[in-house]
Amino acid sequence: MVYMDFSCSKFFEEEFSFFKWKIPKRLLVPLLIILVGKIIGALLVYQILNIGSSGTFWMDPSRYENLVQNQVFSEALNSTPRWAYAFVGWDSAWYLSILTKGYGFSPQSYAFSPMFPLIGKFFNLFFQNPIVSLAVCSMLFGVLWVPLYQLIAEKYMTKQKALISALIFGLSPYVFLFTTVEYTEGLFLFSTLFCWYCLKKNKIASTAGFAAITALTRISGVIVAVPLISDFILKKIPRRKYWVPAILAPVIAFFAWLLYSKLTVNDFFAYMHVSEWSSMYTLPTFIADGISNKGVYVFQNAFQNVSGPTVWIAPVAVIAALVIPAFLLHRAFKVDKSLGLYFFFSYVGILILGALVSLPRYISVLFPIWIVFTTFIPVNKKTAIVFIAGLFVSLVLGYMLWIDFLSGKFVG
């Protein structure tokens, strides 16, 4: 009995030792740079769009579509400080509506996983305003993932390169924008990277917990089970038999979400049976239905069913999202087999199920891409100026996308 108590105590001490962890100063550098970039961006878009008096596109009910989820923008208008509207638009309406009304307000809401609005509810206990709550939630997780990524990157490259990789990743236009506004990207990256970090540290309970959170943040999060299975099969893991529940955690969490759908709307796969986005092209439907029926003319309406103009960079970004990961995939397996497997299954899953116009957003948060990409970048004094200039251009593009997002243009 004494032995069991000692073992249990030791287990928990090992599992949660990272909560005592003091963040090394090197990990704060990219975090602070990205945080400052977000704060400056918020001030810029607030002034450029004159949000204080004119407001954004999403503050005027006469401008956006009168859909049930969009009503949340105007419902909170009188009680919400105007700065908070610098962080809302498009799918933010769904998360805000789920937070305030639950999933029953629209069958289409089941396309959105529950973890982000659930955490937003906890923030709302303090802020007592849904828009402010999700804005703070997004900003918090939108920077906390950065040191986690840097720590993981250090396992595959030098500390100097890992720092550079974190800046490239965090300041890339789509990642910068969607980890700032009220979307799931920040929370998804945080939970995925924490899961990966705990996996590499052999922390069973923590890996299981964050794997479950990832699966409940986005449907694609269930793919985090792939590297868990890979490491279980290919590597010698301490306390091997105890890893089985950790492997099952994201699957169980995902099944719990399906069960909730079954109990509430009598449909296990309610998230798949939403109709609002059904006519948007995925890559398979674009090839099978679009090109075969319309030939080259399909490119004229490749972004169909988008209720608003798309941003000017969209065609280039979609092509880049399709092509660049394909070139990096082989290298990922050389860096780390489990990293390569996670990369492969996530990439294929996004291409099959993701809306074509949203591919840049989905692909950008696939963190193995940025680890592999950085391995090709030479780090020396000659490339420093090019690197700094590239980060500046990337940040400016992020600001431009942010303004477009608040102006009612479809960014991703």
Burial (0-12, 13-18, 19+ Cβ within 10 Å), 307 = exposed
Record the tokens describing residue 405, joined without a space. 């997002």
**Contact, 213 vs 115, CB < 8 A?**
yes
Q: Which of 316, 320, 322, 281 is nearest to 302 (CA)?
A: 281
CA angle 158, 232, 201 (to 5 degrees): 40
pLDDT at 249: 95
Whole-angstrom Cα distance, residue 47 to residue 39? 13
Which amino acid makes up residue 19?
A: F
Q: Which pLDDT score, from 0 to 100, does residue 257 have?
A: 96
pLDDT at 398: 98
Separation CA 261–CA 268 (nearest Å): 5
All residue ranges of the chain with pLDDT < 70 are 1-22, 275-279, 290, 292-307
pTM, two decimals, is 0.92
Q: Give residue limits of the domains in the chain.
A: 24-406
pLDDT in tens, 132-184: 999 999 999 999 999 999 999 999 999 999 999 999 999 999 999 999 999 99
